Amino acid sequence: MVAIKELHGIAELEGVFALFRRIWRFDPGGEPITVELMRALAHAGNYVAGAYEDGELVGGSVGFLAAGSALHSHITGATAGHGIGFALKAHQRRWALERGLTRITWTYDPLVRRNAHFNLAKLGARPTEYLPGFYGIMSDAINQGDESDRVLAEWSLSAPHVEAAVRRSPVVRRLPARTPVALDDRDGRPVIHPVDGPVVLVAVPADVEGLRGVDPGTAKAWRFAVREVLGGMLAEGRKVTGFHEKSHYIVEKA
Protein backbone atom coordinates (compact mmCIF):
# COMPACT_ATOMS: atom_id res chain seq x y z
CA MET A 1 0.00 0.00 0.00
CA VAL A 2 1.43 3.35 -1.07
CA ALA A 3 0.85 6.30 1.27
CA ILE A 4 1.37 9.83 -0.03
CA LYS A 5 1.78 12.97 2.04
CA GLU A 6 2.86 16.56 1.62
CA LEU A 7 6.38 17.27 2.84
CA HIS A 8 7.83 20.29 4.64
CA GLY A 9 10.69 19.21 6.90
CA ILE A 10 14.33 19.40 5.85
CA ALA A 11 14.99 15.73 6.62
CA GLU A 12 12.02 14.64 4.47
CA LEU A 13 13.14 16.88 1.62
CA GLU A 14 16.69 15.58 1.84
CA GLY A 15 15.23 12.11 1.38
CA VAL A 16 13.40 13.23 -1.78
CA PHE A 17 16.57 14.85 -3.14
CA ALA A 18 18.53 11.64 -2.50
CA LEU A 19 15.84 9.61 -4.28
CA PHE A 20 15.93 11.90 -7.31
CA ARG A 21 19.73 11.65 -7.35
CA ARG A 22 19.57 7.83 -7.36
CA ILE A 23 17.07 7.86 -10.23
CA TRP A 24 18.79 10.38 -12.53
CA ARG A 25 22.41 10.29 -11.26
CA PHE A 26 22.89 14.02 -11.80
CA ASP A 27 26.31 15.52 -12.19
CA PRO A 28 27.23 17.95 -9.37
CA GLY A 29 25.68 21.30 -10.19
CA GLY A 30 23.22 19.78 -12.66
CA GLU A 31 20.41 19.03 -10.21
CA PRO A 32 16.98 20.26 -11.39
CA ILE A 33 15.87 20.95 -7.81
CA THR A 34 17.57 21.51 -4.45
CA VAL A 35 16.53 20.84 -0.89
CA GLU A 36 16.45 24.57 -0.20
CA LEU A 37 14.18 25.28 -3.19
CA MET A 38 11.82 22.45 -2.22
CA ARG A 39 11.65 23.93 1.27
CA ALA A 40 10.81 27.37 -0.11
CA LEU A 41 8.20 26.01 -2.51
CA ALA A 42 6.49 23.97 0.20
CA HIS A 43 6.48 26.91 2.62
CA ALA A 44 4.90 29.14 -0.05
CA GLY A 45 2.01 26.72 -0.55
CA ASN A 46 3.19 24.80 -3.59
CA TYR A 47 3.09 21.05 -4.14
CA VAL A 48 5.86 18.95 -2.57
CA ALA A 49 4.92 15.36 -1.79
CA GLY A 50 6.47 11.99 -1.05
CA ALA A 51 5.20 8.45 -1.60
CA TYR A 52 5.96 5.82 1.04
CA GLU A 53 5.69 2.05 0.93
CA ASP A 54 6.10 0.24 4.25
CA GLY A 55 7.62 3.43 5.63
CA GLU A 56 10.24 3.72 2.87
CA LEU A 57 10.31 6.70 0.52
CA VAL A 58 9.68 5.35 -2.98
CA GLY A 59 8.57 8.45 -4.90
CA GLY A 60 8.49 12.22 -4.85
CA SER A 61 6.93 15.07 -6.78
CA VAL A 62 7.46 18.84 -6.82
CA GLY A 63 5.24 21.39 -8.54
CA PHE A 64 4.48 25.08 -8.42
CA LEU A 65 1.46 27.23 -9.14
CA ALA A 66 1.33 28.57 -12.69
CA ALA A 67 -0.72 31.01 -14.75
CA GLY A 68 -4.19 30.07 -15.88
CA SER A 69 -5.43 28.16 -12.81
CA ALA A 70 -2.75 25.52 -13.23
CA LEU A 71 -0.16 23.58 -11.30
CA HIS A 72 3.09 22.96 -13.16
CA SER A 73 4.60 19.64 -12.11
CA HIS A 74 8.33 20.32 -12.31
CA ILE A 75 9.76 16.91 -11.38
CA THR A 76 8.30 13.56 -10.41
CA GLY A 77 10.31 10.42 -9.80
CA ALA A 78 9.54 6.98 -8.44
CA THR A 79 11.08 3.55 -8.11
CA ALA A 80 9.86 1.07 -10.69
CA GLY A 81 6.61 -0.83 -10.37
CA HIS A 82 3.81 -0.91 -7.80
CA GLY A 83 1.84 1.96 -9.43
CA ILE A 84 3.75 4.61 -7.48
CA GLY A 85 3.82 7.12 -10.34
CA PHE A 86 0.08 6.75 -10.94
CA ALA A 87 -0.64 7.17 -7.22
CA LEU A 88 1.46 10.33 -7.10
CA LYS A 89 -0.35 11.85 -10.08
CA ALA A 90 -3.77 10.97 -8.62
CA HIS A 91 -2.77 12.63 -5.33
CA GLN A 92 -1.48 15.65 -7.24
CA ARG A 93 -4.80 15.88 -9.10
CA ARG A 94 -6.82 15.81 -5.87
CA TRP A 95 -4.54 18.47 -4.37
CA ALA A 96 -5.06 20.73 -7.38
CA LEU A 97 -8.84 20.27 -7.50
CA GLU A 98 -9.14 21.10 -3.78
CA ARG A 99 -7.48 24.46 -4.54
CA GLY A 100 -9.74 25.30 -7.46
CA LEU A 101 -7.18 24.53 -10.16
CA THR A 102 -8.33 23.13 -13.48
CA ARG A 103 -5.10 21.93 -15.13
CA ILE A 104 -1.75 20.32 -14.37
CA THR A 105 1.05 20.75 -16.86
CA TRP A 106 4.47 19.14 -17.15
CA THR A 107 7.17 18.49 -19.71
CA TYR A 108 8.56 15.13 -20.80
CA ASP A 109 10.89 13.73 -23.43
CA PRO A 110 8.68 12.77 -26.40
CA LEU A 111 11.10 9.99 -27.41
CA VAL A 112 10.66 7.93 -24.24
CA ARG A 113 7.91 5.42 -25.01
CA ARG A 114 7.01 4.44 -21.46
CA ASN A 115 6.56 8.08 -20.46
CA ALA A 116 4.42 8.85 -23.51
CA HIS A 117 2.25 5.79 -22.82
CA PHE A 118 1.91 6.67 -19.13
CA ASN A 119 1.10 10.33 -19.75
CA LEU A 120 -1.29 9.90 -22.66
CA ALA A 121 -2.83 6.44 -22.33
CA LYS A 122 -2.91 5.95 -18.57
CA LEU A 123 -3.49 9.53 -17.40
CA GLY A 124 -5.22 11.13 -20.37
CA ALA A 125 -2.85 14.10 -20.62
CA ARG A 126 -2.40 15.72 -24.02
CA PRO A 127 0.72 17.33 -25.56
CA THR A 128 0.07 20.95 -26.50
CA GLU A 129 3.49 22.33 -27.50
CA TYR A 130 6.82 21.00 -28.78
CA LEU A 131 9.81 22.64 -27.06
CA PRO A 132 13.17 22.03 -28.84
CA GLY A 133 16.25 22.07 -26.59
CA PHE A 134 14.15 23.19 -23.63
CA TYR A 135 16.81 22.57 -20.94
CA GLY A 136 19.89 22.82 -23.15
CA ILE A 137 22.31 19.88 -23.31
CA MET A 138 21.66 17.47 -20.43
CA SER A 139 24.54 15.76 -18.62
CA ASP A 140 22.82 13.31 -16.26
CA ALA A 141 23.36 9.57 -16.71
CA ILE A 142 19.97 8.98 -18.34
CA ASN A 143 20.09 11.75 -20.96
CA GLN A 144 23.85 11.38 -21.70
CA GLY A 145 24.40 14.68 -23.50
CA ASP A 146 21.29 14.42 -25.68
CA GLU A 147 19.42 17.55 -26.72
CA SER A 148 16.59 18.20 -24.30
CA ASP A 149 13.56 18.44 -26.57
CA ARG A 150 10.36 18.30 -24.54
CA VAL A 151 6.64 18.41 -25.12
CA LEU A 152 4.38 20.33 -22.79
CA ALA A 153 1.64 18.00 -21.57
CA GLU A 154 -1.63 19.38 -20.26
CA TRP A 155 -3.89 17.41 -17.93
CA SER A 156 -7.44 18.81 -17.97
CA LEU A 157 -8.45 17.59 -14.53
CA SER A 158 -12.22 17.40 -15.01
CA ALA A 159 -12.34 16.23 -18.62
CA PRO A 160 -14.45 13.06 -18.97
CA HIS A 161 -11.59 11.04 -20.49
CA VAL A 162 -9.29 12.09 -17.62
CA GLU A 163 -11.86 11.12 -14.99
CA ALA A 164 -12.21 7.74 -16.73
CA ALA A 165 -8.43 7.30 -16.76
CA VAL A 166 -8.12 8.08 -13.06
CA ARG A 167 -10.78 5.42 -12.39
CA ARG A 168 -8.49 2.99 -14.27
CA SER A 169 -10.93 2.68 -17.17
CA PRO A 170 -9.30 4.76 -19.91
CA VAL A 171 -11.13 5.35 -23.18
CA VAL A 172 -9.71 3.13 -25.94
CA ARG A 173 -8.98 5.11 -29.10
CA ARG A 174 -10.18 3.36 -32.26
CA LEU A 175 -8.16 4.17 -35.37
CA PRO A 176 -9.40 4.23 -38.95
CA ALA A 177 -8.31 1.32 -41.10
CA ARG A 178 -4.92 1.83 -42.78
CA THR A 179 -4.06 4.94 -40.79
CA PRO A 180 -1.02 6.48 -42.53
CA VAL A 181 2.32 6.51 -40.71
CA ALA A 182 4.17 9.83 -40.97
CA LEU A 183 7.22 8.61 -39.05
CA ASP A 184 8.03 4.91 -39.07
CA ASP A 185 10.50 2.62 -37.27
CA ARG A 186 12.36 0.56 -39.86
CA ASP A 187 14.91 -1.82 -38.35
CA GLY A 188 15.41 0.58 -35.45
CA ARG A 189 15.93 3.70 -37.57
CA PRO A 190 13.48 6.54 -38.26
CA VAL A 191 11.93 6.82 -41.72
CA ILE A 192 9.82 9.86 -42.61
CA HIS A 193 6.90 9.37 -45.03
CA PRO A 194 5.29 12.38 -46.75
CA VAL A 195 1.73 11.36 -45.89
CA ASP A 196 -1.33 13.34 -44.92
CA GLY A 197 -4.79 12.65 -43.62
CA PRO A 198 -7.16 13.50 -40.81
CA VAL A 199 -5.33 11.04 -38.54
CA VAL A 200 -1.67 9.98 -38.79
CA LEU A 201 0.75 8.00 -36.62
CA VAL A 202 4.20 9.11 -35.44
CA ALA A 203 6.56 6.42 -34.14
CA VAL A 204 9.18 6.77 -31.41
CA PRO A 205 12.11 4.37 -30.79
CA ALA A 206 11.70 1.29 -28.61
CA ASP A 207 14.37 2.34 -26.10
CA VAL A 208 15.97 5.71 -26.75
CA GLU A 209 17.75 5.68 -23.37
CA GLY A 210 19.58 2.46 -24.21
CA LEU A 211 20.17 3.67 -27.76
CA ARG A 212 22.03 6.74 -26.51
CA GLY A 213 24.64 4.45 -24.98
CA VAL A 214 25.14 1.96 -27.83
CA ASP A 215 24.34 4.00 -30.95
CA PRO A 216 24.25 7.76 -30.26
CA GLY A 217 24.08 8.53 -33.97
CA THR A 218 20.79 6.69 -34.38
CA ALA A 219 19.47 8.23 -31.15
CA LYS A 220 20.24 11.67 -32.59
CA ALA A 221 18.56 10.75 -35.88
CA TRP A 222 15.40 9.89 -33.94
CA ARG A 223 15.63 13.18 -32.04
CA PHE A 224 15.70 15.23 -35.24
CA ALA A 225 13.04 13.12 -36.97
CA VAL A 226 10.55 13.42 -34.10
CA ARG A 227 11.31 17.13 -33.82
CA GLU A 228 10.60 17.58 -37.53
CA VAL A 229 7.46 15.45 -37.75
CA LEU A 230 5.74 15.67 -34.36
CA GLY A 231 7.03 19.17 -33.63
CA GLY A 232 6.01 20.34 -37.09
CA MET A 233 2.50 18.94 -36.75
CA LEU A 234 1.96 20.55 -33.35
CA ALA A 235 3.22 23.86 -34.75
CA GLU A 236 0.66 23.54 -37.57
CA GLY A 237 -2.11 23.25 -34.99
CA ARG A 238 -2.71 19.52 -35.13
CA LYS A 239 -3.64 17.72 -31.92
CA VAL A 240 -2.14 14.66 -30.28
CA THR A 241 -5.07 12.58 -29.10
CA GLY A 242 -3.47 9.39 -27.81
CA PHE A 243 -0.62 6.89 -27.91
CA HIS A 244 -1.22 3.78 -30.02
CA GLU A 245 0.02 0.33 -28.98
CA LYS A 246 2.73 1.82 -26.75
CA SER A 247 4.69 2.93 -29.81
CA HIS A 248 3.01 5.68 -31.90
CA TYR A 249 1.54 9.12 -31.23
CA ILE A 250 -1.93 9.57 -32.70
CA VAL A 251 -2.09 13.00 -34.37
CA GLU A 252 -5.28 14.52 -35.73
CA LYS A 253 -6.13 17.62 -37.68
CA ALA A 254 -7.95 20.16 -35.51
Closest CA to 225 of 181, 164, 168: 181
* pLDDT tens per residue across span 148-161: 999 999 999 999 99
Q: What is the pLDDT of residues 27-39, one digit of tens each?
A: 888 889 999 999 9
How many angstroms from the chain centroid is the CA of residue 204? Answer: 14
pTM (predicted TM-score): 0.93
pLDDT digits (tens, 9 = 90+) for 11-28: 999 999 999 999 988 888
Give the chain's largest Cα–Cα span.
Answer: 55
**Distance in angstroms between the alpha carbons of the first and the last residue of the chain:** 42
Residue 48 CA to residue 13 CA, distance in Å, equals: 9
Return the SS3 of 28.
Answer: coil
The stretches in the chain having pLDDT less than 50 are 141
DSSP symbols for 186-213: ETTEEEE-----SEEEEE--S-HHHHHH
Indicate if the alpha-carbon torsion angle 143, 146, 152, 154 is positive or negative.
Answer: negative
- Residue 42's contacts (CB-CB under 8 Å, 6 or more residues apart) are 6, 7, 8, 13, 48
For the chain, the structural domain boundaries read 181-252
